[in-house]
Amino acid sequence: MLITRIRNLDGPLSKSLSMVDGKLVKNAAADLVNGMAHRVHVEDIEHLAQIVCSLTSQEALTFGVPPFEHGRITTQDYVAMGKAPIGAVPRDKEHFKWPEGEGGLMLDIDQPHDGSEPFTAKTFDDLMEDMLPWWRNVSRFYRPSVSAFVYGPDGQKLSGRGSLRCYSILDKAENALFVGVALADAFWCNGYGRIEFDKAGRAQAKCPIDCGVWQASRLDFAGAAVLGPGLTQKKYPPYIVHGRIIDSEAVIAAGPGKVSVGVWASHNIEVRKAKGAARPEERTRQRTYIKQRIEQDVEAGFERAMAERKWRMALLDNILSGTFPLHFRDKGILTVADVLKNPAAYDLERLADPADPTRTGRSVLASARSTRLITSQKRSCRMLEIGHSEPLLAS
- What local confidence, expressed as pLDDT, does residue 319 receive? 81
- What local confidence, expressed as pLDDT, does residue 354 receive? 80
Is residue 337 domain-shared with residue 211, that is, in the same domain?
Answer: no
Report helix, strand and coil shares of the chain as percent, to nearest 5: 30, 30, 45
- What local confidence, expressed as pLDDT, does residue 273 receive? 97
Decide: residue 328, CB within 10 A, 0-12 exposed, 13-18 middle, 19+ buried: middle
Buried residues in 103-129 as b, exposed as e (16+ CB within 10 A)? bbbbbbbbbeeeeeebbebeebbebbe
Least confident of 2-6, 238-242, 286-290, 378-382: 378-382
Confidence band (pLDDT; 50, 70, 90) for 359? Answer: low
Instruction: Decide if 339 contacts 354 (C-beta within 8 A).
Output: no
For residues 216-227, give the mean pLDDT.
95
Confidence band (pLDDT; 50, 70, 90) for 355? Answer: confident
Residue 285, domain member (yes or no): no
Is residue 260 domain-shared with residue 332, that is, in the same domain?
Answer: no
pTM of the predicted model as reported, rounded to 2 decimal places: 0.84
Which of 100-104, 155-159, 342-346 holds the top average pLDDT? 100-104
Confidence band (pLDDT; 50, 70, 90) for 360? Answer: low
CB atoms within 10 A of CB 294: 20
Is residue 268 domain-shared with residue 297, that is, in the same domain?
Answer: no
Above 50 in pLDDT, residue 342?
Answer: yes
- The number of residues in the chain equals 395
Residue 194, domain member (yes or no): yes
- The domain boundary, picked from 277, 300, 328, lies at 277
- The domain boundary, picked from 277, 300, 329, lies at 277
- What local confidence, expressed as pLDDT, does residue 364 receive? 46
**CA distances, 395 to each of 313, 370, 388 (Å):** 16, 29, 20
Q: What tens digit of pLDDT does each residue of 18-58 get?
A: 999 889 999 887 778 999 999 999 999 999 999 999 999 99
Residue 392, domain member (yes or no): no
Is residue 110 domain-shared with residue 174, that is, in the same domain?
Answer: yes
132's CB contacts (< 8 A; 6+ apart) are 183, 186
Report strand pairing: 150-151 vs 319-320: unpaired
Above 80 in pLDDT, residue 363?
Answer: no
Is residue 113 domain-shared with residue 257, that is, in the same domain?
Answer: yes
Is residue 222 domain-shared with residue 190, that is, in the same domain?
Answer: yes
Residue 63, domain member (yes or no): yes
- What local confidence, expressed as pLDDT, does residue 373 receive? 53
- The domain boundary, picked from 247, 277, 307, lies at 277
Q: Which range marks the domain in which residue 341 is found?
A: 291-386
Residue 22, domain member (yes or no): yes
- For residue 219, the number of C-alpha atoms closer than 13 Å in the C-beta half-sphere is 25
Above 90 in pLDDT, residue 248?
Answer: yes
Confidence band (pLDDT; 50, 70, 90) for 139? Answer: very high
- What local confidence, expressed as pLDDT, does residue 383 receive? 45
- What local confidence, expressed as pLDDT, does residue 372 receive? 52
Above 60 in pLDDT, residue 205?
Answer: yes
- What local confidence, expressed as pLDDT, does residue 348 receive? 61
Closest CA to 185 of 124, 77, 267, 106: 267
Is residue 187 domain-shared with residue 244, that is, in the same domain?
Answer: yes
How many distinct structural domains can be found in the chain?
2
Helices of type H across 300-376: 304-316, 336-340
Above 90 in pLDDT, residue 141?
Answer: yes
Distance CA 255, CA 205 (A): 18
Above 90 in pLDDT, residue 158?
Answer: yes
Is residue 273 domain-shared with residue 295, that is, in the same domain?
Answer: no
Confidence band (pLDDT; 50, 70, 90) for 370? Answer: very low
- For residue 332, the number of C-alpha atoms closer than 13 Å in the C-beta half-sphere is 2
Is residue 259 domain-shared with residue 320, that is, in the same domain?
Answer: no
Is residue 265 domain-shared with residue 151, that is, in the same domain?
Answer: yes
Residue 180, domain member (yes or no): yes
CB atoms within 10 A of CB 285: 18
Is residue 148 domain-shared with residue 269, that is, in the same domain?
Answer: yes
- What local confidence, expressed as pLDDT, does residue 117 receive? 80
With both helix axes pointing from N to C terminus, report the angle between 279-299 and 269-277 in degrees, rounded to the nearest 10: 60
Is residue 313 domain-shared with residue 229, that is, in the same domain?
Answer: no
Residue 330, domain member (yes or no): yes
Residue 394, domain member (yes or no): no
Least confident of 17-21, 105-109, 238-242, 360-364: 360-364
